[in-house]
Structure 1
């Protein structure tokens, strides 16, 4: 029998059960990102998803609100190479920093002229007649306001792993790597340079300073430096430094506490992952966030 209303559009059958439609009516889905995150936490509690999956999904959601300026390594903390430096100076600097890529400047630090792959430096050793400039790769510049979602797409499509972040006036504000972006999703990506010294969270750097985990015990730092940082109100170095600064530390910030200088090397999820710690009287003069 033909349809008496041939102009009528047929609707796809709703395959949900009556019970599932009633449940959806009584308990509608999340209306905001915060509600969605709460839903994910509830799903983890009910063993519907693994904790690692929940953390990753939450990272994806939070990353949508972050920009390059939120995650970048601030300009004062960037490890740069001078185009005019001799090979004998460049090699120790590359080894000490332990990065795979380095911005290269000419004249002043603001003038970034390219990116050097650490492995390319070996070519100078084999062929001293080569000029460092010929080994440089083009530098990619992005604004502080660039969203991490868009930046990750650019990194993948351009096969680029590092970008120089510039502020609204065109000045160098910092740098950001693809690892910085991915860590906002999957958490800290550990490598051989992230090993802790035993269980204390202290790691000796090549220049004699210490890299100290934000969750390291204050007592461990006191024993290492022979100082007496207060332990009554705080358990970790990160908590003590945040209190001294009066806000959540950002990368590049520096503060002196109890005769030690704490420079923020890496932050994750609103907390400091690593500090570089030196004695205040041994540290090179620089502007401190708070004494």
Structure 2
């Protein structure tokens, strides 16, 4: 559920829940349940953060001792590419061995990392099965999010500017407003300025779709249908160049995203050697995460 278009009390509940979730994060970046640290609980946190538009690699609330939620997940990766449930033996779960990849743990980790991939490239959140937004809407929503945060941090929140931002928010189709992740800041600024907030409650609009039903879309080749959606761009190349020769696990999601893009790009031949180098760097990240992290 997005924090957009909800009441003040609900927004406050979101804040308290996130604060509590932050305090529960362990020093390695992972989470525990029933007294046992495990990859599935950490993966569920990642899915939730992405659905709320929170980047787990930059939000300081979810970085402990330099370790992010992604680090917390990758510590459970085994050399075969799979993931274990926990490094602690669970006598009530005999199939989840602390030194062997586990199918349930690996499946949940896969969709958690998929949720983060979708967040990074601007796709719909994991459980939003509607066809992707048109590029025009994506760009307008992204710019609106940036402008709201910029005004919030400016210290000069003019009423006229707040009103204009609210008009832009209301111009977004109601079924897409859940992706205006910064709405909570706009609502707070409006409340502080005693401005009337006439936005509708979004829950009733979450099932609106022109197609009439949900759709499972291709992970890498989903977009507006524009040719540019299938290209490896110069910006992608600069992101690739920013990855060090010996990347830490923090670079793993970025490597996976770029590898997926160039593997499916129509212009991959314009960037010779990039795909092979990304594959090598992905393996290097795997070597960092495959070591035994069990307590000695």
Q: TM-score surpassing 0.5?
A: no
Return the structure number with greater relative CO, CA threshold 8 A, min gap 6.
2
Q: Normalising TM by the smaller chain, what interval?
A: under 0.3
Tell me which structure has the larger Cα radius of gyration. Answer: 1
- Choose between structure 1 and 2: higher helix proportion: 2
